[in-house]
Amino acid sequence: MKVIQISIFLENRAGRLAEITKVLASAGINIRALSLADTSDFGILRLIVNDTEAAFKVLKDNGFTVGKTEVIAVEVPDRSGGLAEIMQILAKENINVEYMYAFVQQSGENAVILFRINELDKAIEVLTQNGVTVLPGEKVYSL
C-alpha cells in the first residue's frame, strides 16, 4: 500500500530542473507526479515515477543527491468536501500530514492525492477501516 517517492536535492539555479528531466527522459523514466519546494538557495524535487529503482540509479549515476521516501496514494472523492473528509479521519486519530500533493490523473470518480504522513502504517489502517481506498505502489506507478 505504500508508494516510493524519489526526492532530489537541487541548487536553485537556472537549468537544474532541465538537467534532471533530461536525465530521466534519456533513461525512459516517466514522471507520474511531482512536487517542488524551494528556498532562495536550494529545492527538494519529489517525484513519483514509473520505475523507481531505475530513476534512483540514473540520477545517482549523474551526480544528483537522491533519496527515497515512503508515501501513500489515496483516492479522494472529487467533490466539494472530499479532501476535508480524509483530513478529518486523520485528525481524529491524531495522524499528522507532513505534506501532500496531487496526482496527475484521476482514478474513476476520485482524485488521487499523495500524502507523506508521520505514521504510514497507522494511516493506512485507519483510512482503510473508514472505507477510503489507499492505492498500492504498483497501481500508482502504472497510472
**Cα–Cα distance measured from residue 100 to residue 94, given in angstroms and rounded to the nearest whole number:** 17
CATH number of 71-136: 3.30.2130.10
With a pLDDT cut of 90, the percent of the chain lying above it is 74
What are the domain boundaries of the chain?
Answer: 2-69, 71-136
Q: Answer whether residue 104 shows pLDDT above 80.
A: no
SS3 9: strand
Contact (CB, 8 A) for 73 and 109: no
Element (H, E) at 141: helix 137-142
pLDDT tens digits, one per residue of 35-92: 998 777 889 999 999 999 999 999 999 999 999 999 999 999 888 999 999 999 999 9
pLDDT of residue 105: 64
Q: Do domains 2-69 and 71-136 have the same CATH topology?
A: yes
Grid cell 497510472 is found at: 143
Read off the pLDDT band of 109 (50, 70, 90): confident
The class of domain 2-69 in CATH terms is: alpha beta
Contact (CB, 8 A) for 112 and 106: yes
- Percentages (nearest 5) of helix, strand, coil residues in the chain: 35, 40, 25
Average pLDDT over residues 96-118: 84
Read off the pLDDT band of 114 (50, 70, 90): very high
Q: DSSP string covering 17-63, please?
A: HHHHHHHHHHTTPPEEEEEEEE-SSEEEEEEEES-HHHHHHHHHHTT
